[in-house]
């Protein structure tokens, strides 16, 4: 919800400037530049700062895709950065990946011979206790 409010405020402010400068002051070129600037600054601020802050603190919206061939295990926050743990059964490795603000500093930790699912082969016909 906070994400929608943020974008409503940015778009309202941008087009309010466009209306005021363009219609009232009759400077359409400056109005277009001001409107585009507010939209661009709002997009950059959201992508590089506010997205993870909104999600962590206020219940914002964020989508992350699990890489193909991996199983999602857990997610945790370290400060304002999100860490995701996935398991790759083909290579028997766990991957911790960091999703930082703006995805500029993305860390990754790989744990080899990791088997968090504790898969144990069972013989067909045997019953489990």
**pLDDT tens sequence across 64-117:** 888 899 989 989 888 878 889 999 988 888 998 888 766 666 788 888 988 776
Tell me the percentage of the chain whose pLDDT exceeds 70.
86
Helices (H) and strands (E) in the chain, counts: 3, 4
Average pLDDT, the chain: 83
pLDDT computed for residue 14 by the predictor: 95
pLDDT computed for residue 104 by the predictor: 63
Q: Rounding to the nearest 10 degrees, give the CA dihedral for residues 81, 52, 50, 29.
A: 110
């Amino acid at each position: 919800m906070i994400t929608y409010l943020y974008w409503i405020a940015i778009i309202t402010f941008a087009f309010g400037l466009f209306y005021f400068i363009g219609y009232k002051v009759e400077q359409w070129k400056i109005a277009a530049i001001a409107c585009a600037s507010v939209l661009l600054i709002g997009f950059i601020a959201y992508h590089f700062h506010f997205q993870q802050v909104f999600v962590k603190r206020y219940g914002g919206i964020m989508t992350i895709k699990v890489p193909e061939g991996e199983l999602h295990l857990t997610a945790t926050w370290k400060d304002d950065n999100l860490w995701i743990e996935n398991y790759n059964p083909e290579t028997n490795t766990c991957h911790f990946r960091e999703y930082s603000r703006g995805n500029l500093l993305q860390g990754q930790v790989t744990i080899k011979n990791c088997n968090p699912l504790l898969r144990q082969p069972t013989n067909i016909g045997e019953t489990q206790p």
